[in-house]
Each structure stands twice: as structure tokens, then as C-alpha cells.
Structure 1
Amino acid sequence: MRGRDPPPARGCADVSGYQLAENVSLAGRNTFRVAARAAMMADVSRADALAELFEFAMLREGPVLVLGEGSNLLFAGDFPGVAICLTMAGVRIVQDDGDTALVRADAGMNWNDLVGWTLARGLCGLENMALIPGTVGAAPIQNIGAYGVEVGEFIETVEAFQRDTGQIKRIAAADCAFAYRDSVFKRESERWVVTAIELRLPRRRELRLDYAGVKEELAAMGVDTPRAVHVAEAISRIRTRKLPNPAVLGNAGSFFKNPLVAAATADALKAAHPALPVFPAGEGQRKLSAGWLIEAAGWKGFREGDAGVAPQHALVLVNHGQATGAQLLDLARRIAASVQERFGVALEPEPRIIGARFDGGA
């Protein structure tokens, strides 16, 4: 069957709907820009090619990794299996009732491009998530969010390839189990490959401005009556100042999740450390600022060789040039261990770690 035979050891083999290459460098496929290689890479241009591709991958008896722009992972070593990159990047409005529109976007589309596309058509909702790196396909997996908004609020349907059946399924938002930086697609990553999403976006909504200096940035821009496009611009400016550009300094954005703790724990920490930012997170829970905890533990701007912590933001680990994934992971473990020792709070990594376990710094 076409696609079962491995391609030549060098060069590429064109197959219907995907292209294969062996022994591929991943340095340009991850925003940390760490050196790593994949035994095989498949660039996929059609979702209906995934069944044949996974059949081929199973015959190789190796692991499979679905790779977007590599903005939310850390390669701690080479990848011995097949790395799959979805290149489909179409977007269109499939329904429009005047008040809201249903937008369908393919998994390979750049996320920030989608934000701009929707704003240009007068649609609101995604403006607070401007400039988040990565692809559309990664958005529901991580339930990405920023400045008080999460993508799960707007997703109506996720289209995903189900690996155990070989079929493409449409999954309603209620069945996606969206939570803070979590979803069924993240918990069952060996089962699902997100191929597209559909978002229900309004033309008018109350803007969310009460977060992390957004109002102040709008005022600095001279905007008195903001619209969604102004909010996107303000947040893009804030992110550009606070976070290093991965094109200049290798990083994967926020490396640690903001920890969720019991309300009583948060109250005790706040009493001991009045400057600690604490946010509501549902009944009986509070969300703490991981960046504040890391900075208070003395890590902001730290550098050891080429592995370090961004001077702009303590939440961002950076590769100054030649750091390996293993060195960055070791630094992350040490940071987590020091926060645990000082504050009694466990930190969890936000990026997926390939080739090693995080183990909480223990």
C-alpha cells in the first residue's frame, strides 16, 4: 500500500497528502531553537491523509509527535519516531447571523494570523490573545489564554483525527473538557490530532480590560473609547515589551503554569508576602503568579552558560545560543525546587517536554 514503504534515506518522498523526509533537524521547528533531530518528519497538507500516515508510522513501531510551530515544547533529546507537522492553513466564515459568526480555521494556521483575520472582519473575542505564539491546532489542546480570556470560551467544535479508529471526528465544546491550560486533547494526546477548530465569535461584546495594565496601555495609546482592535494592539505592545522575541532569543513563552492552590493556602501566603498577586480560580481555589514566585526566589535574569531566565520576565526560560534542551530542563527543575522550598508551592511546566520527565524538580 502506498505510504507503507519508507522513503529513501536521503531526500524526500512525495506521497498523496503528505511528504516524508528522514533524519530531519528540529532546530528550526521549535522556538527554543535547541538542537534535536527527528528520525522522520511528515509535512501533512490534507487531514484525510492522516489515516494512511499513522498506518505507516505504526509499521515503523516508533512514537509519533504532532508538531505545530514548536512554541510549546522542549526537546530534551532527539525524537526517535515520526514527527507530524500539519500545514493546512485555511480559514473561512461558515455561518453568519449578523450578531455572531462561526469561523473555521485549519490547524496549521498561525494563531496570531487568525486573531488579525477575525478582527479585520469586525469579530470580537480573540483580541486578548493577540501575539500568542503557535498554531491554531495547538490552541484547544492547551486551552490557550491570556489577559483573562481563554480560547475555550469561543470554541464551538473541534475537528480531530481519532488515532484508534482512523476517523476524523467533530467534538462539541462540552466534550472537550476545557480547563486551565488543559483539555481532553492534552490528557489523551496519544488518541487525538486536532485538524481544525470552529469558533463562535460575536460582533459586539464587553471588552475585558481589567488585567495586567491593559487600561494603562490603552491610555498611553491615547485611546479613550477602545474597540477590540485597540485591545489587541495594546496587548501586543505589552507582550512585546515583557517577553523576548523567539526569533531573537530562543524561548517558549511562559515555561510554568500559574499554580492553583487552596484558598486557605493562598491567604496564608498573601499574609506572609503581601505583594504576591492572587487571582480567583473557582470555588475554594486561588491562582498564584508563578512569575512573582520565581522572581522572589531570585531567578529573574539568571544565566548559566547559554541557559537562562529572561531579564524581562521571570516566567520565561531562554536559550542564549547553544543551550541544550537537557540544560534548560535542568534549570527548570532547579527553579521549581527552589520555589517549592521557599514557598511550599509546586510548579508545573507549561510546555510539553520531549525525551525526559520533569519530575517537579525533585
Structure 2
Amino acid sequence: MVVEKNIPLQAFNTFRIVAKAHALARITHEQDVRDLLADPEWAAAPKFVLGGGSNIVLTGDVKPLVLKVEVPGLKVVGETAKAVIVEAGAGENWHDFVTWTLDQNLPGMENMALIPGTVGASPVQNVGAYGVELQDRFDSLDAIDLQTGQVFTLNAAQCAFGYRDSVFKHASSGEMDMHQPLGLKDRALILRVRFALPKVWKPVLGYADIERKMAEHGVAEPTPRQIYDWVCEVRRAKLPDPAVIGNAGSFFKNPTVTAEQCEDIIARDPKVVHYRLDNGSVKLAAGWLIDSCGWKGKSVGQAGVYEKQALVLVNRGAGVDGNGATGGEVMTLAKAIQTSVYERFGILLEPEPVVI
């Protein structure tokens, strides 16, 4: 196992923020983790798991040992009466994986096309888009304990999925129990993820962007590939390509409020974009709240709010030779937006990315 020193991380985070890892190890197999744990220099060192870097904001150099997850693999591993089970290595690109499933004539993931990041990071965030979340297609995953080197398997219940949430985002409050983990933050590295793709496929529709595409093309019953193509078109039109403009996708979670709170906001701002949920609560569009406060296109230093979508913060600088946005500028902008939205709507927006 080779541990590289003083490695630039600009290419490993989609915000393209300039920073370095004091030390970095590339993980392509569980044995790589065990080798590190057997090495006296690295066994007890703090560790930071890095996937595609699409959901982090670096505010400085990373002192913990960076574990860059590059576990490969895409395959069908089994089936049940209702689903085909596919497995992807944690280092696989998420969008490439979604594309692969359709190429295998295994629909069900198409609504989540073009989400940035890796497969291994997807359960951490419980990624989702256009009416489908990872938990809706999740079967199980394999992870490795970063203290013992033990590989363990978790089902959906043990992952404790929530809206952009999972057991991997919460710290353990005591001795870790693999059968009922309470918190796996900084304790586990995901190796492989398995998904259950329905044998009887039904399109997930209902979002305005998809319905507009159906109307434009005169299609009442779209195929999985058509939905995939439309989702890609919509995302490309709304969201900046990280390869061109540094960003971490949606920066804030869409807040959920009670029906009464929503009615109060509607009374003051009738145009508020909102979605009523099955449990009676209401999800508000964070991008609309931010836009209503006048932030679209504004900047703090080289960090800015994307002109086409207020939910996305971007790095306006090239990020080369230290000229791009710093993590500090990004977070200063984010906090100013939070304050503005709270003062107008009484809602505190919660950031999605992890701040390092």
C-alpha cells in the first residue's frame, strides 16, 4: 500500500477549491484498508473517506489520511421474485452506473441520471431526484470498519435512510454494533452497493420538468431511456457542469414545514414553490426561497450564486494558481444566504455538502 504525500485535491473536489491532502491512499480493495490498519504509521491516524468529491467544501488542507475510494465493478448478482439485484463498486461513477443499468435493459434508476459523485457516496447522502431516492432502489451494501478491518453488510433499515441522510452522516455514541449501528460517521468505508431493480417497471412521473418534456414530445407513456434523456437535458440546462464551473450541485436541502407554516408563507408570498407530502407536511423549494431574497447571480469574492439556479453555489474563478474561490468564501456566502432566508421566511436552510 503506497501512501502519497502532499497531494493536490483540486481535481478531487467538484468545487475545484485549491487544497492539499497531507497524505492520501487509493483504496481499490478492502485489503488496502487492512494494510493501512496493519501499518504502525497509519493504523491510529484519523481518516477521511473521499469519493467523487461532489458533496464537500474544503476550507483548508486536509490533515487526516485521505482514503480515496476507487473500488471498481459492475455486475448482476442475483434476483428475487420482484427484482434483479445489481452490484456496483464504491468507486464507480454514479451516472455511468445508471447508464450501465439501462444498457443492460434494467430500468429503475433513470430518474437519478447525471447526479454527480460515486456509487459509494450515494447511500451516505441518500441521493435522489425527480421523485426517486436511492432508498427506493436499495438492497444492501458492504462496508469495512476503519478501526478493525472487519467487513460487514447493512440492509436499508440499518442504513437509517432519511431525506439526504443516513447512518453514515452521524457519529457513533459508543461501541459500534454492526447489527444495529447508531452512527458510522468516520468509522466505515463503503466498498460495494447493491440495488434492487424492479422486474415490472413503472415510470415515476409527476414533476413539472418531466411533464413538460412529455408534452413537448407528445409522449404519454415514456420509456426508461426517454426519461433518462429528459432528466439529463433538464439537469444540463439548469445546473453547471463541474468540469466547466466548479460547484457541488444543490447546496441546500429543500426545507420541510408544517401545512400551517406553508399557509402562512403562501399568505405573504403566494408564488412560493411547494410540494405536499403524503405525511401532511410540505416541502419548499430552497432555490425559490433563495431567489426571492435576491441572491441569484450575487457573489462573495470568487464564490457566487449560479445565474440559472439559485440553489447552486459556484466557483467563479478558474481555481488555478489560487485564483479561484476559497472554502471560506463559499461558506461566508452560504451563511449570508441562510441569514437572509431566515429573516424573510423564518426558515433556516441546511447545507447539503460536508464542510472540511
Normalised by the length of structure 2, the TM-score is: 0.90
1:205 Cα deviation after fit: 2.1
Across the aligned residues of Structure 1 and Structure 2, the Cα RMSD in angstroms comes to 1.7
Q: Where does residue 351 of structure 2 map in the other structure?
A: 349
1: CA distance between counterparts of 2:41 and 2:226? 48
2: CA distance between counterparts of 1:124 and 1:280? 27
**Conserved? CA contact 1:89–1:106, under 8 Å:** yes
Answering whether residue 295 of structure 2 is matched by residue 296 of structure 1, we say no
2: CA distance between counterparts of 1:69 and 1:163? 19
1:301 alignment partner AA: G
1: CA distance between counterparts of 2:165 and 2:286? 17
1: CA distance between counterparts of 2:277 and 2:39? 44
1:232 Cα deviation after fit: 0.7
Unaligned 5+ residue runs, structure 1? 1-14, 355-362
Normalised by the length of structure 1, the TM-score is: 0.89
Q: Where does residue 181 of structure 2 map in the other structure?
A: none
2: CA distance between counterparts of 1:349 and 1:209? 27
Percent identity over the alignment is 42
Q: 1:208 aligns with which of 192, 195, 204?
A: 204
Q: Deviations over 1:129-151 (max 9, x none)?
A: 00000000011000000011100
What is the DSSP-based 3-state SS (H/G/I as helix, E as strand, rest coil) of the residue aligned with 1:308?
strand
1: CA distance between counterparts of 2:294 and 2:43? 46
What is the DSSP-based 3-state SS (H/G/I as helix, E as strand, rest coil) of the residue aligned with 2:234?
helix
1:98 Cα deviation after fit: 7.8
CA 1:224 to 1:263, structure 2 compared with 1: closer, same or farther past 3 Å?
A: closer
**Conserved? CA contact 1:107–1:135, under 8 Å:** yes
1: CA distance between counterparts of 2:59 and 2:252? 16
1:284 Cα deviation after fit: 4.6
Q: Where does residue 174 of structure 2 map in the other structure?
A: none
**Conserved? CA contact 2:275–2:284, under 8 Å:** yes
Q: Deviations over 1:152-186 (max 9, x none)?
A: 11111111112243201011112111110001112
Q: 2:312 aligns with which of 304, 316, 324?
A: 316
1:23 alignment partner AA: N
Answering whether residue 114 of structure 2 is matched by residue 131 of structure 1, we say yes
Q: Where does residue 29 of structure 1 map in the other structure?
A: 12
Q: 1:189 aligns with which of 173, 185, 189?
A: 185
1:241 Cα deviation after fit: 0.2
Q: Where does residue 143 of structure 1 map in the other structure?
A: 126
**Conserved? CA contact 2:36–2:42, under 8 Å:** no
2: CA distance between counterparts of 1:268 and 1:97? 47
Q: Bigger CA drift: 318-327 or 272-281?
A: 272-281
1:303 Cα deviation after fit: 2.4
Unaligned 5+ residue runs, structure 2? 171-183, 318-323
Q: How does 1:42-191 map to 2 (within 5 A)?
A: 42-56=25-39, 59=42, 62-96=45-79, 100-187=83-170, 188-191=184-187
Q: Where does residue 40 of structure 1 map in the other structure?
A: 23
Q: Where does residue 219 of structure 1 map in the other structure?
A: 215
2: CA distance between counterparts of 1:61 and 1:327? 33
